[in-house]
Structure 1
């Protein structure tokens, strides 16, 4: 191969090489899926958008409103 002349790099070749180099250093490695909770029945914190009147209804009954929402969702799902 030493006896073959090198062809000049084109703009497309340079761009392809630059994109490949950039991708190599910026791509995150594939991570394993998250593990299940170690504690059976553990709750998970989430952000949930619900209508203001629904929130006020559950909060009007005092502390424990999050548990009541959870119970209502379980009942609606038949769990």
Structure 2
């Protein structure tokens, strides 16, 4: 007997070990173009950004994080605006 994965409100319940055991492998469910390994990124629509490490003041991080998800993107946008306003050296 199959147990529903959602309740009457449509909320997904926590999966049990039995649920996981009964799952089909990805190769049997998804078309080949949608299958990829964990950690593998799909083809990028825009140029890939450069991964870097930067030290910022706690106030800067708190300000951008307080606005929610996407805080790193907003820092990137703020730095791009600075470059446009002040020109490139």
TM-score of the superposition, structure 1-length normalised?
0.48
Higher Cα Rg, which structure: 1
- Which one has a larger percent helix, Structure 1 or Structure 2? 1
Of structures 1 and 2, the one with the larger relative CO (CA 8 A, separation 6+) is 1
Q: What's the TM-score, normalizing by structure 2?
A: 0.42
